[in-house]
Amino acid sequence: MKTTCKVISFEYQTSDIFVFKVKCNENVEYKPGQFFMLSISGITYDNKLKKDLCMPIKRAYSVSSIRNEKYIEFCVKKENEGTVSLALSKLKIGDTINITGPYGKFVLKENKKDIVLLAIGSGITPIMSMLRSIVKNKIYLNKKITLIYGNKEEITYKDEIIKLCKDKINLIFSLTKINKKVTNCQTIFNRITISTLEDLNIDYTNSNIYMCGKLEFIKNLKDSFKEKGISKENINFEIY
Ligand SMILES: Cc1cc2nc3c(=O)[nH]c(=O)nc-3n(C[C@H](O)[C@H](O)[C@H](O)COP(=O)(O)OP(=O)(O)OC[C@H]3O[C@@H](n4cnc5c(N)ncnc54)[C@H](O)[C@@H]3O)c2cc1C
């Protein structure tokens, strides 16, 4: 489905990650973890010969909200040399964007396993949608759920994540640029690897694992899980 949406809020979560909400012209259905292709009018591929054939540049962005809300929320990392993320970073309330979708199979599975959520940076976006859905709809809360979220020093969605996880979800922050806790939550000061899970006694062997972030982060963990004999069906990921 393709629709036009109006920006209704915009705020920076950290120095380079911003969150914005849009209201769409039509009712849009999606599952936590899915993404849309976004484009902005005026941000097009150059066609010097036929100006009217300039195609809009589209990029994939996951949804961080859940379906029942009256808006769709996106969370984007501003790439200083990037095309679409930079244009999105300049959005103002009332501006419009175009979306097509939803797409993607990075969604919560309906089996009865424990859940391990692993994210770095803006990779929290689809995980945030899953987390909001788990807590709001009270699903899977009889299972052991762990979230490990890695950042350099600033934590996107910090206060909401702490609130959502309180007493329900085992939450661990990982910080790689500083050596000081920025919350009262359990914090490690290393990159997230399979050793992190083992050191923290997280039983990933009988869990559905969902991870999102840059290629190197996903590849490293995916290879380690494979080496440990974890079945492919239990390893779910989205690469940014
Ligand atoms: C399924 C999916 C979901 C995603 N969801 C999200 C999300 O929720 N949030 C999010 O922030 N991102 C998400 N992404 C990533 C997003 O789609 C974009 O790839 C990202 O925002 C960068 O796009 P851009 O147009 O700003 O940068 P691009 O213009 O594509 O540039 C990408 C990088 O290349 C560099 N670059 C560009 N041109 C040059 C050049 N000529 N020479 C050297 N370097 C150059 C830029 O510095 C930039 O860092 C997702 C990706 C996928 C596949």
Output the residue whose Cα is nearest ligand 1's atom 24: 82
**For residue 121, is it within any domain?**
yes
**pLDDT score, position 49:** 67
Assess whether 154 and 50 both reside in one domain.
no
The CB of 122 under 6 Å from ligand 1? The reply is yes
Residues 85 and 151 in one domain: no
Q: How far apart are the C-alpha atoms of 79 and 71, rounded to whole Å? A: 25
| Residue 48, Cβ density class (10 Å: 0-12 exposed, 13-18 middle, ≥19 buried) | exposed
CB 193 within 8 A of CB 219: no
Q: What is the pLDDT of residue 53?
A: 67
Q: Is 34's C-beta closer than 6 angstroms to any atom of ligand 1? A: no
Same domain, 170 and 119: yes
Strands (E), the chain: 2-12, 17-24, 35-39, 59-62, 72-77, 96-103, 114-120, 145-151, 170-175, 186-188, 207-213, 235-239
User: Helix 158-165 and helix 124-136: axis angle, to 10°?
Assistant: 40
Q: For 159-209, how does the pLDDT look when each residue is reduced to its tens digit (9 = 90+)?
A: 999 999 999 999 999 999 999 999 999 999 999 999 999 999 999 999 999
Looking at the domain assignment, is residue 51 inside a domain? yes
Identify the pLDDT of residue 48.
Answer: 66
Q: Which of 13, 40, 61 to mutate to test the pocket of ligand 1 (most atoms within 8 A of CB)?
A: 61
Same domain, 166 and 119: yes
- Yes or no: say if 3 and 25 are a contact pair by the CB < 8 Å rule: yes
Would you state the pLDDT for residue 42?
Answer: 84
Q: Is residue 108 part of a domain?
A: no
Domain stop point among 69, 103, 137: 103
Q: Mark which of 50, 68, 103 sits at the end of a domain.
A: 103
**Segments in the chain below pLDDT 50:** none
CATH code at position 177? 3.40.50.80
C-alpha of residue 164 to centroid of ligand 1, in Å: 29
Residues 164 and 201 in one domain: yes
Mark which of 103, 124, 157 sits at the end of a domain. 103
Residue 35 covered by a domain: yes
Q: Is residue 171 domain-shared with residue 203, that is, in the same domain?
A: yes
Residue 144 lies in a domain: yes
- What is the pLDDT at residue 55? 86
Range of the domain at 217: 114-239
For the chain, how many structural domains are there in total?
2
Whether residue 125 is found in the same domain as residue 224: yes
Instruction: Tell me which residue has tokens 């914005």.
Output: 20
Could you tell me if the CB of 86 is within 6 A of ligand 1?
Answer: yes
**Does 24 fall in a domain?**
yes
C-alpha torsion sign, points 174, 177, 183, 188: positive
